[in-house]
Structure 1
Amino acid sequence: MTHSEGRDSQPTTWTTLPLFPLHTVALPGVHLPLHIFEPRYRQLTIDLVTEVVPERLFGVVAIRNPTITEVEEPAHVHATGCAVRLREARRLPDGRFDIVATGHRRFRLLSIDTGAAPYLHATVEWADDEPLPDGSEGAEEATARLADAGRAAHRRYCSVAWESDGWQPPPRDTEPALLAYRLASDCILPLADRQELLEERHPLRRLRLTCRLLAREAAFISELSAVPPPQHEVNETLLRPSLN
């Protein structure tokens, strides 16, 4: 259920979502593969597949400290998270699941309910982007230049980071609000950098940040003469769920 109410004379929209704390950051418009093994999150997957959970949406928040294995309060996680929608689920013979979800919409975490269900629930308020500049010719040109710079940084990163040519640039018609996320998704970034991208609510500032991060990481890889592991191995290891 979604509600609207006043806060400091400004309308706000909030809702409740199942909550899945992870040691990674989900980004809007980016696929998130997960291996589901713990009973409570197996149940969440079943509830998503059967649409007991409306719209197959659940919230993902990044855990602040890698030593935390049980999230019990908002202080244990970052305040900005991303609602993701289940796209695919494959049940394994032993009851585990391999799933793919896609980032949908950013939110701010308001509270966590640890007793409502086998898995966590959260009350969140949506945190949408600030508007892009008006549609004047100058604003459109500035947006296009920044998008081109982001794509160029992405090409440079992928050319030095990935041993194969299997990567693909985002489609040319990708919305500016999603482009930074799509470009960054091919880069193995520290959690703090991914969280900074998620928290940045202005699309053009987010593109500038992505350009800087991609350039930095490409320089590191070139200097060290080392490449990240293949992307499928990253998905299987770095994106596994926490022990909640």
Structure 2
Amino acid sequence: MRLSIFPLTGAILYPGLHLPLHIFEPRYRAMVGDALARDRRIAMIQPSDPDEGTALFDVGCVGRISEVETSEDGRYNILLTGESRFRLLRELEVTTPFRQIEAELIEEPEDEMLTLGERAAFEYESRKFAKLQGYEIDWDSVARLDDVSLINGVSQIAPFDAAAKQALLEAPNLRVRCDLLVQLMEFFGKGDPDEGNVTLQ
């Protein structure tokens, strides 16, 4: 399928989750306007480095604009709801100010669940990590989340670098993503939180 992309380092979206975005650059305002006139879909994908026009990572996520606010100067505040991960096939030559790609959707595993031991180990490591970082967490609310919402939600907002977040997005299933999250939290927990984010690069 043909997708209009918003290449943004550190911005990861998962199916079923939400990503708020403030759109102010003219080319991306044009992209949002185009999406609203068609199917309301925008594809989030990370560039391999911050330079303009750089190569893209292989996997991203298509989102549908579920909420939109327009300011008088033409800026947008939108809320993207993740629909499906996709794999990049090729970038297209286009005349639009925003980039477009050809991609194939990734079929997600159904009814994924962790074992009780995996869930307990993840929550244990999460509590240690949150305490180290000084995060205030409502653990009762966390306990009520299903496994997919918990693991993907933490993967989306975790303060890791672009390569780590990309590795989480590309994980083939929930169990692999959970294991990687635990490894990242353990690794990051060994460092000084004032020195910045963990890096896999």
Report TM bin, short chain: 0.7 to 0.9
Ranges in structure 2 where 5+ consecutive residues have no aligned partner: none
Alignment of 1:103-118 (within 5 A): 103-115=82-94, 117-118=96-97
- The answer as to 2:22 corresponding to 1:35 is yes
Structure 2: distance between partners of 1:30 and 1:227: 30
8 Å CA contact 1:64–1:77 kept in 2: the answer is yes
Give 1:155's aligned residue. 127
Structure 2: distance between partners of 1:96 and 1:117: 18
Alignment of 1:1-244 (within 5 A): 15-28=1-14, 29-48=16-35, 50=36, 52-54=37-39, 56-66=40-50, 68-71=51-54, 76-115=55-94, 117-130=96-109, 143-165=115-137, 170=142, 172-174=144-146, 176-220=147-191, 224=192, 226=194
Structure 1: distance between partners of 2:105 and 2:59: 10
Deviation of 1:173 after TM superposition, in Å, equals 4.3
Change (3 A) 1:167 1:23: farther
Structure 2: distance between partners of 1:95 and 1:167: 40
8 Å CA contact 2:4–2:99 kept in 1: the answer is yes
Q: How many residues align?
A: 196
Structure 1: distance between partners of 2:139 and 2:38: 34
Letter of the 2:122 counterpart? G
Ranges in structure 1 where 5+ consecutive residues have no aligned partner: 1-14, 134-139, 230-244
Change (3 A) 1:162 1:98: farther
Which 4+ stretches in 1 moved above 3 angstroms?
Answer: 129-133, 162-171, 176-179, 225-229
Q: In structure 1, the residue corresponding to 2:169 is in which secondary structure?
A: helix
Deviation of 1:166 after TM superposition, in Å, equals 7.0
Give 1:8's aligned residue. none
TM-score by length of 2: 0.81
Aligned alpha-carbon RMSD (Å): 2.9
Deviation of 1:16 after TM superposition, in Å, equals 1.8
Deviation of 1:92 after TM superposition, in Å, equals 2.4
Deviation of 1:187 after TM superposition, in Å, equals 2.2
Give 1:4's aligned residue. none
* Percent of aligned pairs with the same amino acid: 27
8 Å CA contact 2:130–2:136 kept in 1: the answer is no
8 Å CA contact 1:80–1:198 kept in 2: the answer is yes
Deviation of 1:191 after TM superposition, in Å, equals 0.6
Change (3 A) 1:45 1:157: same
Structure 1: distance between partners of 2:111 and 2:28: 37
Q: In structure 1, the residue corresponding to 2:115 is in which secondary structure?
A: helix
Q: In structure 1, the residue corresponding to 2:31 is in which secondary structure?
A: helix
Deviation of 1:18 after TM superposition, in Å, equals 1.4
